[in-house]
Amino acid sequence: MSDMQSRPRFDSPEALDAALAGEGYVSDADLRMTLYLAMVLHKPLLVEGPAGVGKTEIAKALAATLDTRLIRLQCYEGLDAAQALYEWDYPRQLLEIRVQEAAGASTDSLRDNLYSDSFLLERPLLAALRHSPPPVLLIDELDRADEAFESFLLEILSDWQISIPEYGTVRAEVPPLVVITGNRTRALAEATRRRCLYLWIDYPDRAKERAVLERRLPGIDTRLADTIADFLAWAREQDLAKTPGLAETLDWAAALIELGVADLNDERVPATLGALFKDAADIDAMRTRLDAYRGER
C-alpha cells in the first residue's frame, strides 16, 4: 500500500483549514498552505517562532483532525538515541533469566525470549515507526538537543527504519506526519532545514488573537475579546523581558471571565497580570503603565 493510499488526504488547503477549525485551531494562509504541502509531499514540517505562539498546538490539532495518535518527543540537552528510540527492560530480563534457568530452559530459547516485544520499551521514535495508522510525530524544541542527536534524528527521518541488535529491523509501513518545533536557542543544521518544509510563526496580530479567543473560549463577550486583543497588541510593543504568547492570552482571558471582569477599568485587573506576564519586572512595569493605557482608550 503506498503512502498516497495510506495517508489521510485533504482536497485543498481550505479543506484542511476547515478541519483544523473544527478542532478549535485558528490558522492563516501561510500556515494552512505549508501544512497542506507537508502532508501531500510527505515532508517534515519545521516550525520556528517565539515561545508560546502555538507551534506545538499545530501537531495537536493535526492529530485530532486526522483522528490519529500524537506521539511527542520532548527534546532537551543531553537527550540521546536510547532515550528517543528504545530501551530493554533489564530488571524484567534478569528476572526472566532466573525463572527460565530454574525451569531448565536452553540458552537459545532463553535468548529468543529475552529479546522480544515483552521486554522492549518503546520510546517516541520507535513508537512512531510501529504505529498504524501513521501517527503525528511531534519533535518538540529540537534546538534544545545537541548537534549529535540532531544528526542521528536526520538519519531516522531519511530511512524511517532502525536495526535493533538481537531483535531485527523495524521499518515504518507508512512514515508518520512529522512536526518539528524550535525556538532558535541554537541554529539547526542546514541538512535538517533542507529536508523540511519551513514555517515561521510570530506573535498573532489583533485579528488572529481575537479569533483565537472566540474559538477557544466560546461565549466570551465580544467587547472583552476586543479589549484583550487591543491590550495585547499594545503590550507586545513594550520593552518586556518575556513577551506573552497565545497561551498566556488565553489564561488571562479565562481569569477575567471567571472574575466577571467586563473591561480593563475594573480595579481587580492589576492583580490578574500574573496570568499574562511571567516576569516580576514586567508585571511591575505593566501595572504602572496600565493607568496610562486606560487613559488613552
End-to-end alpha carbon distance in the chain: 61
Residue 255, beta-bridge partner list: none
Give residues with Cβ within 8 angstroms of 192, minimum separation 6. Answer: 46, 142, 150, 153, 154, 180
**Type of residue found at 238:** Q
pLDDT in tens, 182-222: 999 999 999 999 999 999 999 999 999 999 999 999 999 99
> CA of 237: how far to CAs of 172, 230, 286, in Å?
46, 11, 12
For residues 65 and 35, is the Cβ–Cβ distance under 8 A?
no
Distance of alpha carbon 270 from alpha carbon 286, whole angstroms: 8
> CA of 140: how far to CAs of 75, 133, 176, 183, in Å?
6, 21, 15, 10
Given this model, what pLDDT does residue 241 score?
96
Closest by Cα among 293, 274, 275 to 284: 274
pLDDT in tens, 120-163: 889 999 999 999 999 999 999 999 999 999 999 998 888 898 88
CATH topology of domain 3-85+123-200: Rossmann fold (3.40.50)
13-22, 131-140, 156-165, 265-274: least confident range: 156-165
Write down the residue that cell numbers 518544509 correspond to: 197
pLDDT category at 3 given cuts 50, 70, 90 is very low
Length, in residues, of the chain: 297
pLDDT in tens, 68-118: 999 999 999 999 988 999 988 888 878 877 777 677 766 666 666 777 788
pLDDT category at 254 given cuts 50, 70, 90 is very high
Residue 51 CA to chain centroid, in angstroms? 11
For residues 241 and 279, is the Cβ–Cβ distance under 8 A?
yes
pLDDT category at 261 given cuts 50, 70, 90 is very high
> CA of 30: how far to CAs of 36, 118, 154, 204, 246, in Å?
10, 45, 25, 13, 18
Residue 153 CA to chain centroid, in angstroms? 17
**Is the predicted pLDDT of residue 64 greater than 70, yes or no?**
yes
pTM, to two decimals: 0.86
Percent share of the chain, pLDDT over 70: 94
Distance of alpha carbon 6 from alpha carbon 19, whole angstroms: 19
Mean local confidence (pLDDT), 42-48: 96
212, exposed or middle or buried, with CB in 10 Å at 0-12, 13-18, 19+? buried
Nine-digit cell string for 157: 527521518
For residues 203 and 245, is the Cβ–Cβ distance under 8 A?
yes
Given this model, what pLDDT does residue 226 score?
97
Closest by Cα among 165, 200, 167, 203 to 184: 200
Question: Where are the chain's structural domains?
Answer: 3-85+123-200, 206-296
Residue 249 CA to chain centroid, in angstroms? 18
> To 10 degrees, the CA torsion angle through 70, 76, 79, 84?
0
Mean local confidence (pLDDT), 45-52: 94
